[in-house]
Amino acid sequence: MMRTRVFSLLFFVFLLGLPATGAVWQVHGEPREASGPEVDFVLFITADGFRTGYVEWYNPSYIRNLTEGGTRVLQAWPVFPTNTTPNMTSLVTGAYPRTTGVANNSQYVRELDRIVGGPRDNESKTIADMLAEAGWRPAAISHFALDTRGVHGDMYHNLETYTTTLETPERIGDRAVEIIRSGEADFLAINFGSTDTTGHRYGPRSNEMEEMVLAVDAAVGRILEALKEAGLYERTLITFNADHGMSEFEEKEASMEPAEALRRAGFEVATNQNELGEDTEIIVLAGGVRLIYFRKQLSEEQQQRVMETLEAIEGIKIMDRERLDELHCHPERSGDLIVHPLPGYTISGAGNPGGLHGRLTEADPVLILYGPGIREGATVEEAHLVDIVPTLLHVVGVPPAETVDGSVIEGALAGAAAGSRPQ
């Protein structure tokens, strides 16, 4: 690619000793570009709700090949709650909710005094922003947190992916192949939403889930083939990842819905924007767990009543602000408390067919890295989803933006690449 060629020429000039000063290095590029791996394409694939166990259960052959030829992170930590919107945002920014401002699929925004569904007001730079600033050409298919956030106009392809039809991954694969053949992009992010929808409807251990995983795998295989045909495969850096895992519905249910318990204790409670009124004291938002916001300043007596009311619910635990801060939640938009079902419990919907997520239980998304600069056939015990962006940027030699919270997954780096980089 052009950056590499320009640099190679500079390097050659440097070797000839013509403008052989340190200043030339500083001005024209960092030495690591010469010694680092050559990467001409970055493929960022996310499959929503792709639990890491699917690799063993359903044996998707192309995805399995990526794990065998690359590095797999055994415990990939998502942001909490393990819901889609905050995790998709953190995946593409390398930043926690406290930095992105996107804390849940729906969140109470105090300065607007509104409950915002599907928040897109991410305050961090995306990997597409950072690569574009370094001269890369980003494209994306349905990776919604990148829409207008580093990927613009015709380069953003919005397909309806949150379905359970097996043709959906196929259509995404078709579009990805077109983009690769066009030669108009060198960063491509793809989001397969159908793994999440299928998991919700049929559960993670179902024939439908197996079929969907294999349909996504087939699309991945066609995308890799297109990279080979384009002569790019050997110089493509790949991540296959997910935003969270997926569990079957539990058989046991908390003894009462927290919003209902708080109402019975005499509080004015809203659970959505329509219910939010002048008198609303407490907001309770759902998504596997319950985010509890004190909209009005509560007296000490009231706060105590809130705690006693919630503590009386069987099958839950209360996570306070200290715990939420440890998990890098947003100081306001993640709530003042989170109610989390105990292991083996759900707050609502016990015994339902299908699957759920949102709890810490679903902190088991797939995470694979593959390609130049990445260790082959390796495993890393644990890393965070926010570490993916800085790791990719490190391999391609692009500095991370100040908004990046994650760090490079050192254990995933090929020895030579890891050792060649100045700190």
Phi, psi at 110, each rounded to 5°: -60, -40
When CB distances to Zn ion are compared, the closest residue is 84
Beta carbon of residue 351, minimum distance to Zn ion (angstroms, whole number): 23
Phi, psi at 74, each rounded to 5°: -75, -40
Nearer to Zn ion, 52 or 309 (CB): 52
Q: Say whether 183 sits in a helix, a strand or coil.
A: coil
Instruction: Name, in order, each residue with C-beta under 8 angstroms of 411's C-beta and a sequence gap of 6 or more.
Output: 71, 375, 378, 380, 381, 383
Q: Quick one: tokens of 1?
A: 């690619």
Nearer to Zn ion, 173 or 199 (CB): 199
Cα–Cα distances in angstroms (integers) from residue 420 to residues 24, 116, 324, 397, in the given order: 19, 46, 38, 11
Residues 193 and 85 sit within 8 Å (Cβ to Cβ): no
40 belongs to the binding site for Zn ion (CB under 5 A)? no
Q: Quick one: tokens of 241?
A: 């990842």
Beta carbon of residue 243, minimum distance to Zn ion (angstroms, whole number): 4
196 belongs to the binding site for Zn ion (CB under 5 A)? yes
Beta carbon of residue 200, minimum distance to Zn ion (angstroms, whole number): 9
Of 186, 243, 281, 405, which lies in the binding site for Zn ion, with binding defined by CB under 5 A? 243
Of the candidates 222, 233, 129, the one whose C-alpha atom is nearest the C-alpha of residue 178 is 222
Instruction: Name, in order, each residue with C-beta under 8 angstroms of 361's C-beta and a sequence gap of 6 or more.
Output: 82, 245, 247, 343
Nearer to Zn ion, 71 or 85 (CB): 85
How far apart are the two ends of the chain, measured CA to CA in Å?
A: 25
Site string for Zn ion, 286-325 (x = CB under 5 A): ----------------------------------------
Beta carbon of residue 302, minimum distance to Zn ion (angstroms, whole number): 35
Nearer to Zn ion, 107 or 236 (CB): 107
Nearer to Zn ion, 80 or 267 (CB): 80
Q: Say whether 185 sits in a helix, a strand or coil.
A: coil
Nearer to Zn ion, 49 or 287 (CB): 49
Beta carbon of residue 162, minimum distance to Zn ion (angstroms, whole number): 9
Residue linked to tokens 């009124």? 277
Kindly indicate which of the ranges 76-84, 172-180, 206-214, 262-270 contains the residues binding Zn ion, using the contact rule CB under 5 A: 76-84
Of 82, 84, 168, 236, which lies in the binding site for Zn ion, with binding defined by CB under 5 A? 84
Q: Quick one: tokens of 162?
A: 């949150």
Nearer to Zn ion, 84 or 247 (CB): 84
Beta carbon of residue 357, minimum distance to Zn ion (angstroms, whole number): 7
Instruction: Give the separation between CA 112 and CA 114, rounded to whole angstroms.
Output: 5
Of the candidates 186, 98, 92, the one whose C-alpha atom is nearest the C-alpha of residue 144 is 92
Question: CB count, 10 Å around CB of 131?
Answer: 21
Residues binding Zn ion: number (CB under 5 A): 5
Nearer to Zn ion, 46 or 124 (CB): 46
Kindly indicate which of the ranges 12-20, 37-45, 48-56, 69-77 contains the residues binding Zn ion, using the contact rule CB under 5 A: 48-56
Nearer to Zn ion, 81 or 94 (CB): 81
Beta carbon of residue 196, minimum distance to Zn ion (angstroms, whole number): 5
362 belongs to the binding site for Zn ion (CB under 5 A)? no
48 belongs to the binding site for Zn ion (CB under 5 A)? yes
Question: CB count, 10 Å around CB of 132?
Answer: 18
Phi, psi at 179, each rounded to 5°: -65, -45
Beta carbon of residue 249, minimum distance to Zn ion (angstroms, whole number): 16
Residues that bind Zn ion (CB under 5 A): 48-49, 84, 196, 243
